Structure 1
Amino acid sequence: MATNGSVSSKNFCDAGPSCADNVSEWDITWITNMEKPLKQIKYAILILNRPITQNPQFMRRLWNQASIRITVDGGTNRWDQFISSQPEAYNKGLKLPDLVTGDFDSITTEICDKYKKKGCKIVHTLDQDHTDFTKALLELIIHCNQIGVEIENVVTFAQNSGRLDQVLGNIQTLFLARDKLLIAPKIKIYLISDDSISWLLSPGEHVILISEEVRKSKRVWCSLVPIGEACERVTSTGLKWNLDHQRLKYGDLVSTSNRFDGSDKVTVNCSHTLLWSMRIPNIK
């Protein structure tokens, strides 16, 4: 656990039976396990404007079985480049984007016209007060309402390398989606970058299921990072370096480069929002 250097909170849930109804469970095995069926999972997939580095079979499985498929601005170029680089057999039966959206400052005219001619819905969002990711979530909900589809998860492919401002902008969108109620509170949003996955842990108690594949990986890592404010108290189990009512804050202590202790789950009890990230092996 990397370091850089008893406050109570009404949001902090001391472990015990009274907290049972407030526990959020996170099971991402439906995303990472290639053998796990997705028929019962209601999710949307978003492709942002970053290189697609994941395993082609991993991408095809998630893409084709999604309830809604969206490419966002230059992410349409990236998706087209990705599928064009695959063998002809790969593209047979591959579904088209349901929606192509963004302010279109990155997508090429050629690619936009190509998918328009294929029958994809094209939505131009000009608002510059929000990122294309944020606007794509708004358009996703509009589209779901129009076609009568409910989703419970959003899987977004967005590189966490390159421009730091865009990385931080993606995290900002996670906060906006939750705090401004851009989407229903029950919908979970995941960010996938290379071979890692991230999401927000809101104040309260969380259980994160850790698959055997992850537990056995030698290069696996995880982190708990406070974003925007200190997290006054954090308690965890299932980590190599657990926290016990500790304070996480930039300039003080943050939990990066942590590991798992071999348990099949991690529990996190936090007084304020944390960004949870972890490596998921074998998706590249």
Structure 2
Amino acid sequence: MSADLFHATGGVTLIGGGAVTAQDLAQSLEMAAALVAADGGADAALALGQLPDLAIGDFDSISADARISLGAERLLHVAEQDSTDFAKALSRIKADFVIAIGFAGRRLDHTLAALNVMTRHRAPPCVMLAAEDVAFLSPPHLSLPLEEGTRVSLFPMGQASGTSQGLRWPINHIDFASDGRIGTSNEATGAVQLQIKGDMLVMLPRDCLHLAITAITAPTSV
């Protein structure tokens, strides 16, 4: 590992200090075995019996006990205050994908800030795991082999548009905006294909985590 980057083959579980359960951590680690903590997320990981490979942040939230447990070699201090700990961590991870846990479910401002970071930092692709949902930024071309009736919510993080196949209510010829038209609570009629221009969050039921990871890491078609 270089002095300021965490490299992993495959996926990384990134844990924050928000609401996180043993089930969240176990489900994420099954797909992304490397574990990185964003600041106080180190305490959450240790409380669930897992020692992070690295903790990244300005360290205004991590406890003294967690610092001792990790040791200096597992701490990456980033002093600047212009970004969140989630942004500090995500921007310093080099991996195929990231599963973010512990960034939703408590403070709404923290959840919104994390979704903002996911929109601005497209690499590595990131999926947020929440209590009932998974959320990720749609690539320009997205293919999801969903079962009929699966909930598909689209939320623009700015101006966005696109075309769709396999949605009960197609999005063709719709101009989306965060302060205008949104696309929550749509429904799959089967396999879904999306062509998206702009920044669009996709939200699926939690049991679609594996499908989401497969979709956002698929090779880009020429």
Matched, 1:191 2:128: yes
Match of 2:6 in 1: none
Which residue, out of 187, 192, 201, partners 2:138? 201
Matched, 1:135 2:88: yes
Match of 2:205 in 1: 279
Give, in whole Å, the separation in 1 of the partners of 2:144 and 2:31.
24
Deviations 1:156-213 (A, max 9, x none): 11433332321221122123323xxxx4xxx3211111231111124x3321232xxx
Which residue, out of 223, 243, 246, partners 2:153? 223
Q: Highest Rg: 1 or 2?
A: 1
Matched, 1:50 2:18: yes
1:136, distance to aligned residue in structure 2 (A): 0.8
Match of 1:10 in 2: none
Q: Is the 8 A contact 2:42 2:66 kept in 1?
A: yes
Give, in whole Å, the separation in 2 of the partners of 1:176 and 1:250.
15
Q: Is the 8 A contact 1:103 1:126 kept in 2?
A: yes
1:61, distance to aligned residue in structure 2 (A): 5.5
Give, in whole Å, the separation in 2 of the partners of 1:277 and 1:230.
17
Identity of aligned residues (%): 23
Give matches, 1:233-252, under 5 Å.
233-252=161-180
Secondary structure at the residue paired with 1:112? helix
Give, in whole Å, the separation in 1 of the partners of 2:35 and 2:57.
14
More strand by share: 2
Give, in whole Å, the separation in 2 of the partners of 1:54 and 1:208.
28
Give, in whole Å, the separation in 1 of the partners of 2:165 and 2:111.
28
Give matches, 1:84-163, under 5 Å.
96-116=51-71, 121-141=74-94, 151-163=95-107
Coordinate RMSD, CA, aligned: 2.6
Which residue, out of 65, 74, 80, partners 2:46? 80
- Shift of the 279–111 alpha-carbon distance from structure 1 to 2, 3 Å rule, reads same
Segments of 5+ residues of structure 2 without an aligned counterpart are 1-8, 210-222
Paired residue total: 201
Segments of 5+ residues of structure 1 without an aligned counterpart are 1-40, 84-94, 142-150
Q: Is the 8 A contact 1:100 1:120 kept in 2?
A: no
1:282, distance to aligned residue in structure 2 (A): 9.2
Secondary structure at the residue paired with 2:104? coil
Which residue, out of 194, 197, 200, partners 1:268? 194
- Shift of the 161–96 alpha-carbon distance from structure 1 to 2, 3 Å rule, reads closer
Match of 2:35 in 1: 69
Deviations 1:9-66 (A, max 9, x none): xxxxxxxxxxxxxxxxxxxxxxxxxxxxxxxx7111100111213626xx33642663
Deviations 1:200-251 (A, max 9, x none): 124x3321232xxxx37x7x52211111x222x3221222222222122245
1:267, distance to aligned residue in structure 2 (A): 1.1
Match of 1:60 in 2: 26
Which amino acid letter does the alignment assign opposite residue 42 of structure 1?
A: G
Identify which of structures 1 and 2 has the higher relative contact order when contacts are C-alpha pairs closer than 8 Å and 6+ apart.
Answer: 1
Give, in whole Å, the separation in 2 of the partners of 1:197 and 1:282.
7
Give, in whole Å, the separation in 2 of the partners of 1:60 and 1:160.
17
1:139, distance to aligned residue in structure 2 (A): 3.2
- Shift of the 259–44 alpha-carbon distance from structure 1 to 2, 3 Å rule, reads same
TM-score by length of 2: 0.78
1:122, distance to aligned residue in structure 2 (A): 1.1
- Shift of the 269–54 alpha-carbon distance from structure 1 to 2, 3 Å rule, reads farther
